[in-house]
Each structure stands twice: as C-alpha cells, then as structure tokens.
Structure 1
C-alpha cells in the first residue's frame, strides 16, 4: 500500500518577506509581500512549474491571508493572483484595502532598494 502524499504546509518567512508553500519539505511556491503602516502589501505569487496544477497557489494565498487576519493587519492585493483570489473569496473583504497609486509608488521605492 502506498502512503498518501503529505499535505502541503505554508510558513511565513519574515526575513525574506514572503510566505512559502512546502511539499514534502521542498519549497514549491511563494507569495511575496512588504509591510506598510498596518498593511501587508502582496506583490508577487508564484508556484514552481514542477508543482503546477495541484492548486498550491490557492492554498498558499488562502493561508497567507488567514495569517494576515490573525496578525491584525490589512491586505493590499498588488499581485494579480491575490487580487483574483480575493474576488472569489469575499470572507477577506473586510480586511482588504484598495491598491492606490501611493501604495504602488511606495512599493516601487521599497523594492528598488
């Protein structure tokens, strides 16, 4: 009898400003963020091609957003994938802030350092 595949796990890695999703101990994807005035600004999500088609991006983002809620922060979805996820998951609408030109300019400045 074969063992079922281990469930993916999501961890926040503050030193790298990202959430990572691990499959059997291997990093399969990430959701990158920067924090600003009580907001967690998500700007990039990716899943390695070797793990594509397993729904990992959805698991990653759902758990990352749940962590944002638990941390008492608000979500700013600059990342297109996070924005798309939020349109389908209205349970996070109460902690979601709009992407503004000010936030985008701030993010460009932070990422260019």
Structure 2
C-alpha cells in the first residue's frame, strides 16, 4: 500500500518561491516559480525524487499552482517541461495560462 502524500506547502520569498511536498529523509518533491509581476508567475522547475515516483506528486504540485493562480487572478507561464506538458493535458487550465 502506498502512503498518502503529505500536504503541499507554499514558500514565497518575494520574487521566487516553491511548492513542496516533504518526504521522509529530506527527499522533497518541489516545483519552483518566479514572480514576474503582481499578476504573472513562471513555473521554472519541477523535481520529484524517486521516492515519490508513480504517486502523482508532480501533477499535484502543478494543480496547486493552478488553483492558487485562479484564486489570486494570476496567469502562469509554464517554462518547466513537466509543467508545460501538464498544461497541454489539461485544457481546463487555459484560463490561467499566459498566452
């Protein structure tokens, strides 16, 4: 049986930030972002350690960013290849995609 993933934490440090799922032994799944303006941010990078593989951790991180962007009236530029692929798979996220 697979353990349930921990809650996603958001760490915002002004111009940069990250979403993180804490793992055992310091193996964290994370997605980093850069704030471009008050209404736009870039998803830079997603990293999911092997301990999280197959559990949907990466998708959960991107989904959380989409939810937060919607709630704040922001748009996202998904420069990270993983995030960009998720946006292609989820056309319902078009409202937060910076086009």
Following superposition, the deviation at residue 28 of structure 1 comes to 2.8
- 2:46 counterpart of 1:45: yes
Alpha carbons 2:10, 2:19 under 8 Å: kept: yes
> How far does residue 39 in structure 1 lie from its aligned partner after superposition?
0.6
Cα contact 1:29–1:57 (8 A) shared by 2: yes
Q: TM-score, normalised by structure 1?
A: 0.72
Counterpart for residue 9 of structure 1: 7
Please report the TM-score for the alignment, with normalisation by the length of structure 2: 0.81
**Cα RMSD after superposing both structures:** 2.3
Q: How many residue pairs align between the two structures?
A: 96
Q: Does 2:90 align with 1:92?
A: no
Greater RCO between the two (CA within 8 Å, min separation 6)? Answer: 2
Residue pairs, 1:28-43, within 5 angstroms? 28-37=28-37, 38-43=39-44
- Consecutive unaligned residues of structure 2, counting only runs of 5 or more, are none
- Structure 1 residue 72, shift from structure 2 partner: 1.6
Higher helix share: 1
Q: 2: distance between equivalents of 1:51 and 1:5? A: 10
Q: Secondary structure at the match of 2:61?
A: helix
